[in-house]
């Protein structure tokens, strides 16, 4: 008698509809495809358009017959500037419009066919709490994933107790006051290191409401996937495990992904999950620079600068005398016509020692021999990519987890300098010189130690390697 071949588990992945989280979740999707699972990757129509335009997503996943991309509306008008920090609006809209459509996706059979089981497991961003409601209603196991840092997640978990103790919100005064209500951080976490929404002075602040609720959400799922490794975040993870016992640390995700591709399928096409068009000309420029002589400057995919801040960075970088590669996205600067404000002599100095692109191949840039430092906004992806590459940082956090991350970079991991809440050319010049010249040995040595730990956890038997295997085993055993 002919036995029907067993179909693999079918995992639905639903990332937060923002460029950074989509980028890292595509990497997780590919890791699970390589492990033989079937994947449905759900994105909003808005993100879908950008993936088709910039990331060539169709041909990129062509080699995985088990991968399919599906869209869901986010309920906002087409011309709404979704990536401008008003996350609460986006989440609320997605929640009110998306929940029914999402549940219908799970139950209508539209995601399965003869060669694909119905969805048997869900991995969703922990901010999308309605996915857990829907999963529970239809009886499908769900694991949450969080793309922000564990140190900030732990702060989110503690928001209710900080509010109860009257430690937050505050109105932007006495920013050096220590915060006592986050276990494990009592000796170094200051008001200024908390997510910026804590400074609003408003107990009904939208972001506070959102992150307080979703911090409590995370323990509802069967487990939590985070992009870190045990040797980096062990102490914080022990605290988090008191609330969420089942945590899968599988990071640094970008490097884990790269290793597995190299291990399993050397012939796969080069990957790009970018949602901007990448300017690779900076790699040729880097090739002609001396070893560790360049500071890379980038503030991720969301942060914006005022024209005044742009000019302070510009002067600070030029005055430092250090070479720089700077990412200025087409939408980086608020207001128009900033280019005409850059004085001719600064432009001339930039041409001699600097290079500017709209979007860089960041992982490759950080791994390049010419790069010796990173002036960053400390988005979690940038931070962990820098740690893995052994590149020390200067931190200029913008919002969300970035304030906490920058404190960890300077005070806990000691791989850089934190310049949060300042933006003047003299400070920038001094910090660039300190990181790249005066204290370079100290920072580079420490960064290299951390990088070794990051690489070891991805080797066979390492913590992140084993945790990814455990995740796949758990998916398989829960979906039989
Ligand atoms: C957002 C939030 O801002 C951040 O705080 C949170 O931790 C994750 O989600 P984003 O601002 O985009 O992320 O920053 P980050 O997390 O650093 O992600 C940026 C990604 O874009 C990185 O993977 C980086 O490699 C990539 N990038 C950035 C490029 O490939 N090229 C560039 O020129 C700039």
Long-range Cβ contact pairs of 443-449 (< 8 A, separation 24 or more): 443/373, 443/392, 443/415, 443/416, 444/292, 444/372, 444/390, 444/392, 446/392, 446/413, 446/414, 446/415, 447/386, 447/387, 447/390, 447/391, 447/392, 447/415, 447/416, 448/390
227 ligand 1 Cβ < 6 A: no
Asked if residue 274 has pLDDT above 80, the reply is no
Q: How far apart are CA 150 and CA 63, in angstroms?
A: 33
Q: Which of 253, 300, 366, 383 to mutate to test the pocket of ligand 1 (most atoms within 8 A of CB)?
A: 300
* Ligand 1 atom closest to the CA of 360, numbered from 1: 33
pLDDT digits (tens, 9 = 90+) for 340-349: 767 777 778 7
Strand pairing class (416-418; 371-376): unpaired
The order of strands in the sheet holding 223-226 is 67-72, 38-44, 10-14, 121-125, 142-146, 223-226, 247-249
Give the largest Cα separation in the chain, rounded: 82
Tokens of 19: 């460029």
303 CA to centre of ligand 1 in angstroms: 9
* Cα-to-centroid distance, 20 and ligand 1 (Å): 5
Instruction: Give the model confidence (pLDDT) of 177-216 as tens digits.
Output: 999 999 999 999 999 999 999 998 888 888 888 788 777 7
- Residue whose entry in the numeric block shows the structure tokens 């979740």: 25
Q: Is the CB of 444 under 6 A from ligand 1?
A: no
Is 90 exceeded by the pLDDT of residue 287?
yes
User: How sure is the predictor about 11, in pLDDT bands with cuts at 50, 70 and 90?
Assistant: very high
Amino acid 19: pLDDT: 79
Question: What is the tens place of the pLDDT at every residue in 63-106?
Answer: 898 999 999 888 787 777 775 556 777 878 888 888 888 999 99
As a whole number of angstroms, the distance between CA 261 and CA 408 comes to 31
Mean pLDDT, the chain, whole residue set: 90
Query: Ligand 1, closest atom to CA 383?
Result: 17
Structure token digits, residue 423: 């933006």
ipTM of the complex: 0.98
Is the beta carbon of 379 within 6 A of some atom in ligand 1? yes
- The CA distances from residue 474 to 67, 120, 143, 214, 342, in Å, are 20, 12, 10, 24, 55
How much is the pTM? Answer: 0.93
Looking at per-residue pLDDT, the higher value among 335 and 372 belongs to 372
């Amino acid at each position: 008698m002919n036995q029907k071949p067993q179909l693999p588990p079918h995992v639905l992945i639903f990332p937060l509809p923002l460029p950074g989280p989509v980028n890292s979740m595509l990497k997780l999707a590919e890791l699970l495809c390589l492990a033989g699972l079937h994947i449905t990757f759900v994105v909003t129509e808005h993100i879908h358009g950008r993936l088709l335009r910039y990331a060539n997503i169709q041909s990129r996943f062509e080699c995985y017959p088990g991968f399919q991309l599906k869209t869901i509306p986010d309920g906002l008008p087409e011309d709404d500037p979704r990536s401008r920090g008003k996350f609460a609006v986006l989440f609320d809209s997605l929640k009110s419009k998306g929940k029914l459509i999402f549940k219908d996706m799970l139950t209508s059979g539209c995601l399965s066919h003869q060669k694909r089981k119905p969805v048997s497991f869900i991995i969703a961003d922990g901010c999308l709490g309605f996915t857990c409601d829907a999963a529970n209603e239809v009886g499908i196991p769900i694991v949450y994933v969080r793309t922000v840092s564990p140190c900030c997640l732990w702060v989110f978990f503690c928001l209710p107790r900080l509010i109860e103790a009257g430690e937050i919100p505050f109105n932007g005064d006495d920013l050096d006051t220590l915060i006592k209500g986050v276990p494990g951080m009592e000796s170094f976490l200051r008001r200024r290191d908390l997510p910026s929404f804590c400074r609003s002075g408003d107990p009904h602040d939208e972001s506070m409401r959102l992150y307080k609720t979703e911090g409590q959400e995370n323990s509802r799922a069967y487990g939590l996937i985070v992009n870190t490794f045990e040797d980096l975040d062990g102490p914080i993870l022990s605290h988090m495990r008191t609330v969420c016992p089942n945590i899968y640390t599988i990071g640094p995700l970008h490097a884990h992904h790269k290793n597995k591709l190299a291990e399993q399928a050397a012939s796969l096409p080069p990957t790009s999950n970018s949602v901007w068009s990448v300017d690779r000309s900076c790699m040729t420029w880097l090739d002609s620079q001396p070893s560790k002589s360049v500071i890379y400057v980038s503030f991720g995919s969301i942060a914006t600068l005022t024209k005044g801040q742009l000019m302070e960075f510009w002067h600070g970088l030029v005055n430092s005398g250090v070479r720089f590669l700077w990412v200025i996205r087409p939408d980086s600067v608020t207001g128009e016509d900033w280019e005409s404000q850059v004085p001719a002599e600064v432009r001339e100095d930039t041409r001699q020692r600097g290079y500017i692109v709209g979007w860089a191949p960041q992982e490759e840039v950080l791994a390049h021999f010419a790069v010796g430092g990173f002036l960053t906004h400390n988005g979690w992806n940038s931070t962990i990519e820098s740690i893995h590459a052994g590149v020390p940082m200067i931190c200029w956090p913008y919002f969300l987890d970035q304030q906490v991350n920058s404190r960890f970079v300077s005070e806990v991991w000691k791989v850089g300098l934190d310049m949060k809440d300042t933006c003047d050319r003299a400070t920038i010049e001094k910090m660039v010189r300190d990181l790249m010249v005066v204290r370079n040995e100290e920072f580079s040595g420490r960064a290299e130690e951390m990088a070794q730990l990051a690489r070891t956890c991805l080797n066979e038997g390492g913590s992140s390697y084993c945790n990814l295997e455990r995740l796949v085993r758990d998916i398989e055993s829960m979906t039989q």
